[in-house]
Amino acid sequence: MLVAVITYLRFCGALSLPNKPPAPTAPTGTQRQLLTQSTSTPGMYLDFLARDAASAGVRAPTQDEMGRKLAYRVDDARHVLELGKPAIEVAGLRLHVERSGDAVVLAIQNLVGSDVAYEVTTVPSIGSALCNSARPLPINAMVIAKGTSETRTECVFRDGISIVVTKVETMEVGPLSSYYLSEVPPTLVGIEDRIARGHRGVDTKEPCSAVSSQVVRAGLERGDIGWRDLVDFYARHRCQTYQFPSSYRAFKSDNARPIPALD
């Protein structure tokens, strides 16, 4: 009987097997592409907002709130600040210089009714070569909280020294944006090393990289990308996860582009 069955199957029939199941599908691409896919969804972005707001101890903003235009002020007139002379008010800030030991420092007071991101571009009258020898005061070089001030080291003291202000920019930001910006290394938004070396921002277990892409560095040098563009982006995105897209520019109207913003 066994021989008969084997003979029948060999010459007269065939076993019926189930169809092979399809191969499992998975996201494809490079590691960076896969990371972009996983973080580009609105749901993941909102999850980041909620978790980061909890870490900062502030209310989590909505996606619509994070997409609103940020109030921006700029003053690019030349101002000369001298020891003993009155303070000046520009772009929502009050500025005056003081002597502190063997250094000249710049006191910067926030006059706006919210936290502000700020950039005060200065040139010491004796040049910058000697200024790095002055001990930097610890400051938040990215944001000044509402109703407070920051005092930063400008240069070593020399008789007759003055501080020339060439440009002042400010941007009003909300509590979570202020937290985000305080995590950003100042050199990432174009702030010079002389000022950035005193920065003391938010201490986190996941620090942000201080290395910017070659495209961003070249854009800053050419003037195609400005401080406002970079700060506008990092006010809306956590720097540990999102990289500045080369096409990004500061919002000139509410929800000017979808966020999270990606190349």
220 three-class SS: helix
**In contact, 141 and 101? CB cutoff 8 Å:** no
114 burial (CB, 10 Å; 0-12 / 13-18 / 19+) is: middle
What mean pLDDT is predicted for residues 51-75?
96
Predicted confidence at residue 78, as pLDDT, reads 97
Instruction: Quote the CA–CA distance of 205 and 89 in Å, as a whole number.
Output: 38
The DSSP letter of residue 132 is G
Q: Which of 118, 123, 122, 124 lies closest to 93 in space, CA to CA?
A: 118
- Output phi, psi for 238, to 5 deg: -70, 130
Predicted confidence at residue 29, as pLDDT, reads 47
**In contact, 229 and 249? CB cutoff 8 Å:** yes
Q: Which amino acid is at 34?
A: L
**In contact, 244 and 233? CB cutoff 8 Å:** yes
**Domain assignment of residue 24, yes or no:** no
Instruction: Quote the CA–CA distance of 263 and 248 in Å, as a whole number.
Output: 8
**Domain assignment of residue 256, yes or no:** no
For the packed helices 31-39 and 42-56, what is the interaxial angle rounded to 10 degrees?
80
**Domain assignment of residue 9, yes or no:** no
Compute the residue count for the chain: 263
The Cα diameter of the chain in Å comes to: 116
Predicted confidence at residue 42, as pLDDT, reads 86
Q: How many domains is the chain partitioned into structurally? A: 1
212 or 14, greater pLDDT: 212
- CA angle, 44 then 211 then 155, to 5°: 125
**Domain assignment of residue 55, yes or no:** yes
**In contact, 115 and 175? CB cutoff 8 Å:** yes
**CB atoms < 10 A from the CB of 191, how many?**
22
Predicted confidence at residue 31, as pLDDT, reads 45
**In contact, 91 and 110? CB cutoff 8 Å:** no
Instruction: Quote the CA–CA distance of 242 and 262 in Å, as a whole number.
Output: 8
Task: List, for residues 70-126, the tens digit of each pLDDT value.
Answer: 999 999 999 999 999 999 999 999 999 999 999 999 999 999 999 999 999 999 999
Calculate what percentage of the chain has a pLDDT beyond 90: 75
Report the b/e string of 84-98 with b at 16+ CB within 10 A. eeeebebbbbebbbe
What does each C-alpha distance from 101 to 39, 105, 107, 153, 171 come to in angstroms?
Answer: 49, 10, 15, 11, 32
The radius of gyration of the chain's CA atoms, rounded to the nearest angstrom, is: 28
Query: Domain range spanning residue 120?
Result: 43-234
pTM for this prediction: 0.84
Task: List, for residues 17-56, the tens digit of each pLDDT value.
Answer: 556 555 545 445 454 444 445 677 889 999 999 999 999 9
**Domain assignment of residue 225, yes or no:** yes
**Domain assignment of residue 153, yes or no:** yes
**Domain assignment of residue 47, yes or no:** yes
